[in-house]
Amino acid sequence: MAPPSSGPPAGHNDHLVQSDNPDHPANLIPSLCAKFWTLGWVTGTGGGASIREDDLVYIAPSGVQKELMKPADIYVLSLAAQAQSLDRRNRVYLRSPPSYKPSQCTPLFLAAFTKRRAGCCIHTHSHWAVLVTLLLETQGAGKDREFRINNIEQIKGFGRGFEKTGNLGYHDTLVIPVIENTAHEEDLTEFLEEAMDKYPDTYAVLVRRHGVYVWGDNVHKAKTQCESLDYLFQLAVEMKRLNLPWITDIEPVTPRKS
Amino acid sequence: MAPPSSGPPAGHNDHLVQSDNPDHPANLIPSLCAKFWTLGWVTGTGGGASIREDDLVYIAPSGVQKELMKPADIYVLSLAAQAQSLDRRNRVYLRSPPSYKPSQCTPLFLAAFTKRRAGCCIHTHSHWAVLVTLLLETQGAGKDREFRINNIEQIKGFGRGFEKTGNLGYHDTLVIPVIENTAHEEDLTEFLEEAMDKYPDTYAVLVRRHGVYVWGDNVHKAKTQCESLDYLFQLAVEMKRLNLPWITDIEPVTPRKS
Amino acid sequence: MAPPSSGPPAGHNDHLVQSDNPDHPANLIPSLCAKFWTLGWVTGTGGGASIREDDLVYIAPSGVQKELMKPADIYVLSLAAQAQSLDRRNRVYLRSPPSYKPSQCTPLFLAAFTKRRAGCCIHTHSHWAVLVTLLLETQGAGKDREFRINNIEQIKGFGRGFEKTGNLGYHDTLVIPVIENTAHEEDLTEFLEEAMDKYPDTYAVLVRRHGVYVWGDNVHKAKTQCESLDYLFQLAVEMKRLNLPWITDIEPVTPRKS
Amino acid sequence: MAPPSSGPPAGHNDHLVQSDNPDHPANLIPSLCAKFWTLGWVTGTGGGASIREDDLVYIAPSGVQKELMKPADIYVLSLAAQAQSLDRRNRVYLRSPPSYKPSQCTPLFLAAFTKRRAGCCIHTHSHWAVLVTLLLETQGAGKDREFRINNIEQIKGFGRGFEKTGNLGYHDTLVIPVIENTAHEEDLTEFLEEAMDKYPDTYAVLVRRHGVYVWGDNVHKAKTQCESLDYLFQLAVEMKRLNLPWITDIEPVTPRKS
């Protein structure tokens, strides 16, 4: 099931994942994933994260326990070299760990890096994301499902959109598209890219009965947007249980003196 | 969106945030916020905390990951200097971190410090606080919403009120006012101050679809009141799910022999 | 509100709370309480724990943040000296911390130590305990409420009763009495002792809208019984939400060959 | 209640549980169990874990606080010696801790090791597992209950079956049999072995109102399958609360270009 790949011999370019700096991507991916594990986002090897620094992309391998990952487990590939490859599924890794397989999420992370110039992309299997997609199933037949919520302060945690400055406001409606899940995760790429085209300002795409992909210009923005979104998904599920609507009409309030 | 501010050059007054004492405000704010992050109170840079020691006010900056904050990130301002400023939005910082913006919560924290002589003020985006305000929406039309609960032991976790001694009792009704949320957090200040005037004994104000502000005479009281309140908000949501009323009529029990 | 007490001058008998042994009661109470705080049992200074070793009783003070407690904060009293006191509310402490007040839970802990020869008693404000008492309110009018559950494996986590050997079985019905809450925690003592008399085999007593007291012959048993009970309370609330009864009639199954 | 056992004198073969390698079974069982405690899987001494390396089986003792276990607490037995024993209940331990009793789970762990050549077996009392068995009770009268769920991505976390390669797919139906609980845990063995015979490809068996046994070819697989299953149990309970069915009919989607 893993895509074909070619790479350097074991030990080659190991310096790419060796650094004393805790903010180096090879150190940051393991520490972020350990944190995400405690949040229930990457249970049982599900989910993952990838960081891009300029041309270099750092990716966690397939099938590892995310809270136990080590810098030496990280794959590194060149975005430019990848772009020149005729076969987008034939990836050339600058550095590979000795005993793992590349993540099936790789082309989805690359879509965020190439189409949105993201600096980080996070994939979670959070229960709340999955439950939101399940609740949306009950609200209509079509494939073109969207999660929509407005008038919640945490919506301010999202940027207004690709190449736009500033964040969404309290009264704005956050819209997250939902794509169909496919039998093979790589096959999601096409749907993810379509969603990016149709929703050019979104920083996240839900995958039906699967989870969510969230990205940002850098690690800080990807992580805080992913946290804010998970917060909203959980809130939305709790609201549904209490029979509260996700979309409401609230008149903005103007302070009198200011 | 950030308010205008002027401050000293970078590096000036850095000693105000440098201490080996873990209870120094510049150390305590980061460690408290890291703890609050694990409680889901300051997800995705939301929420925050501020401590006042005599004239000096220590505040976390805007937009940081709260569990990663460092003492060097903290702003310091003088309450007296701030009070003399003609324009309450033009704040003079004694010490500023090099690469952040001041928190939009600043005037709200200052309101607690000046109007209630609080020593610490905490702002959370806790799901439970937001859900309580959502549930209150369904219970009536007016803007003058209050969260009311009685006959729960944890109510004893609150002081009886500003400049009063002792705490609330088991049979007392805890009343927390709810204010409207505004597009810009600074604009909440007016509503918060109004609520303080109308509810002089409250130590907390809920913000609709946003979260809660909780204060106390010192860090200990602000934190334990904030924990007790979050406990009560969660209990209130669970009670609503189970169809149990927040207010009941219970006859006090007198022990026979004592 | 704190009971009158007399004690030695500050610093006297400090050796009673100084030990390098992590299992010494003065070290164990803080480490247990820090763990209980993460479980939501002792939020906002609520709840507490006490350990008895022979004649000496170690108790956490009133009003401290339970996850921050230190060995130096612990009170120590002599059970024998206490028993000889004519006024049971006038407690003589062998060792007192310099700046705290004794816990209002003290006479309740003492009841477990004297009437049941317990080695440890834990008091939690767990949401699940409070919710169980709230759910029981809806099931009948009288004061004589009991939590009853059977046919759940975790019931095996409880001893069969005071001075009895062995534990409850899977098919046994666990019965936990509920006592009325009083305005002052000390006044609960009378009700707790009555419940101990009426339910001689119970290791726990629920307090309406307040929490639970759980004890055991030693720290290990008190803690694991308290954990098992909190597990059952949470399960019971979830069962109620899903409309599943707490008591069922299940025929024991006999394996064929053994 | 504990089965008869004979073993070496205290101190004999202690080298079997002494290693500096954190991945040695005697070190791994305590660190895994501490992690499981934080997940609510082994509350109040419930649940446990066992690891097999070739002929040697390492097992946690009965009745310990699982987050406090130490390598010195671990039992070791020989699978070959055990197989030769005429009386399967008379176990010969190569190494025994000085002051504990063997776990009643022992014959259940051995069933996974002998019938499935598992390298690790985990037993949890997770609320979600228990609630799933309770929900299944309401769906029919017979004893032959199964938990069935399909079209959820996390299903990919399971191997296709004993001696089969590859994992289940997104559209596959995961089937976990439920066995009756017995008064004595050892007596479950017969039912567990029957379920293994009837469901040769399962890696887990639910025990009614008790919990779940999950195994795998090695520690990695047992742990990640156990996590994935707990994730699905929790999701299933949340789905039931929201009135969403566990089994649905979804047409596989074929990407257009690939």
- Does C9 or C214 have the greater pLDDT score? C214
Q: Does B101 touch chain A (CB under 8 A)?
A: no
At a CB cut-off of 8 Å and minimum separation 6, what does A198 contact? A177
Query: For residue B173, what are the β-bridge partners?
Result: B150
CB B98 within 8 A of CB B183: no
**In 3-state terms, what secondary structure has residue A219?**
helix
Q: Which chains touch B (3 or more CB pairs under 8 A)?
A: A, C
A chain contacts of residue D231, beta-carbon cutoff 8 Å: 40, 43-44, 46, 125, 127
Is A7's pLDDT higher than 80?
no
Query: Which of C127, C191, C241 has its CB closest to that of B235?
Result: C127
Residue D3 has a pLDDT of 45
Q: Which residues 106-135 of chain C have a CB within 8 Å of chain B?
A: 125, 127, 130-131, 134-135
pLDDT digits (tens, 9 = 90+) for A42-97: 999 999 999 999 999 999 999 999 999 999 999 999 999 887 776 666 788 999 99
* Of residues D65, D187, D209, nearest to C151 (C-beta): D209
Helix or strand run (H / E) with residue C256: none
Q: How far is D170 from chain A (nearest CA, A)?
A: 6
C3 confidence band (pLDDT: 50, 70, 90) = very low
Closest chain A CA to residue D242? A241
> How far apart, in whole angstroms, are the C-alpha atoms of residue A257 and residue A93?
60
Q: Are D155 and D229 in contact (CB under 8 A)?
A: no
Q: Which of B166, B228, B252 sits opposite C44 (nearest CB)?
A: B228
CA atoms D40, D44, D47, D53: torsion sign = positive
pLDDT tens per residue, range A21-35:
999 999 999 999 999
Residues of chain B with pLDDT under 70: 1-8, 10, 86-89, 141-144, 257-258
Interface of A with B in 209-228 (CB under 8 A): 220, 223-228
Suggest the residue from A45, A89, A240 to mutate for an interface test with chain D (most D CBs closer than 10 A). Answer: A45
SS3 C63: coil
Residue B154: phi and psi, rounded to 5, are -65, -15
Give the model's pLDDT for residue A85: 72
| CB-count exposure of residue B161 (10 Å: 0-12, 13-18, 19+) | middle
Residue B39: half-sphere exposure toward Cβ, Cα within 13 Å: 30
> Which residue does chain D place closest to C233, by CA atoms?
D127
Given the residues A137, A146, A153, A186, the one annotated as active site: A153
pLDDT in tens, A200-258: 999 999 999 999 999 999 999 999 999 999 999 999 999 999 999 999 999 998 777 64
Chain C residues within an 8 Å CB radius of D137: 244
- Sheet strand arrangement including C211-216: C5-6, C91-95, C75-78, C56-59, C48-53, C120-124, C211-216, C204-207, C173-179, C146-150
B-chain CB neighbours of C45 within 8 Å are 157, 224
Q: Model confidence over C122-151: pLDDT tens digits?
A: 999 999 999 999 999 998 755 669 999 999
| Ranges of H-type helices in C101-248 | 106-116, 127-137, 188-198, 219-241
| Structure tokens, A12 | 């080659």
Strands B146-150 and B56-59: unpaired
Residue B105 labeled ligand binder: yes
- Residue B141's pLDDT is 53
Confidence of residue A8 (pLDDT cuts 50, 70, 90): low
CA atoms of B46 and A140, how far apart (whole Å): 33
Q: C46 — contact with chain B (CB < 8 Å)?
A: yes
* Whether the Cβ atoms of residue B74 and residue B109 lie closer than 8 Å to each other: no
SS3 breakdown of chain D: % helix, strand, coil, rounded to 5?
A: 40, 20, 45
C24 marked ligand binding residue: no
CB B57 within 8 A of CB B109: yes
What's the rounded Cα separation, in Å, for the pair B196 and A96?
Answer: 60
DSSP string, B130-180: HHHHHHHHTT-SSS--EEEEES-GGGGGSBSSTT--SB--TTSEEEEEEE-
| Residue of B165, B248, B258 to mutate, interface with C, max C Cβ within 10 Å | B258
* Interface contact D157-A44, CB threshold 8 A: yes
Q: Would the CB atoms of A131 and D242 count as touching at under 8 Å?
A: yes
Structure tokens at A173: 């409606």
| Any A CB within 8 A of D252 CB | yes
Is A182 close to D153, i.e. CB distance below 8 A?
no
Q: If DSSP codes are grouped into helix, strand and coil, which group holds residue C22? A: coil
Q: Is B186 a catalytic residue?
A: no
CB contact, 8 Å: A255 with chain B?
yes
pLDDT band at C92; cut points 50, 70, 90: confident
Q: Do C131 and B242 touch (CB under 8 A)?
A: yes
Q: Tell me, what's the ipTM?
A: 0.94
CA-CA distance, C209 to C129, in Å (whole number)?
A: 8
∠ at Cα A152 (A150, A155), nearest 5°? 80
The pLDDT of residue C166 is above 70:
yes
Question: What pTM value is reported for the model?
Answer: 0.95
Active-site amino acid positions of D:
153
Looking at the predicted structure, is the pLDDT value of residue A144 above 70? no
Sequence-ordered strand ranges (E) for chain A? 5-6, 48-53, 56-59, 75-78, 91-95, 120-124, 146-150, 173-179, 204-207, 211-216
Neighbours of B165 (CB within 10 A): 7
D151 touches chain C (CB under 8 A): no
Contact D235 A135 (CB under 8 A): no
Kindly state the helix (H) or strand (E) to which residue C214 belongs, with its residue range.
strand C211-216
**DSSP string covering D17-77:** G--S-TTSHHHHHHHHHHHHHHTTSSGGG--EEEEEETTEEEEPPTT--GGG--GGG-EEE
pLDDT at C249 over 50: yes
Nearest CB to D209 within list C152, C169, C255: C152
Q: Cβ contacts (< 8 Å) between D181 and chain C: which residues?
A: 151, 153, 170, 253
Is A210 annotated as belonging to a binding site?
yes
Contact D169, A183 (CB under 8 A): yes
Burial class of A121 by CB neighbour count within 10 A (0 to 12, 13 to 18, 19+): buried
Res C82: pLDDT? 83
Chain C residues whose beta carbon lies within 8 Å of the beta carbon of residue D212: none
Of the residues D209, D237, D241, the best mutation for testing chain C's interface (the one with the most C CB atoms within 10 Å of its CB) is D209
Mean pLDDT of C155-167: 96
Q: Are B203 and B216 in contact (CB under 8 A)?
A: yes
Cα–Cα nearest to B208, from B199, B195, B221, B222: B195
**What is the model's pLDDT at position C212?**
98
Residue in A closest to D224 by C-alpha: A44
Report residue A174: phi and psi, to 5°. Answer: -80, 130
Chain B's closest residue to C139, CA to CA, is: B244
pLDDT in tens, chain D (258 residues): 344 455 667 678 999 999 999 999 999 999 999 999 999 999 999 999 999 999 999 999 999 999 999 999 999 999 998 877 766 667 889 999 988 999 999 999 999 999 999 999 999 999 999 999 999 999 875 566 999 999 999 999 999 999 999 999 999 999 999 999 999 999 999 999 999 999 999 999 999 999 999 999 999 999 999 999 999 999 999 999 999 999 999 999 877 764
Measure the CA–CA gap between B213 and B75, rounded to whole angstroms. Answer: 19
Q: What is the chain D residue with the closest CA to C225?
A: D44
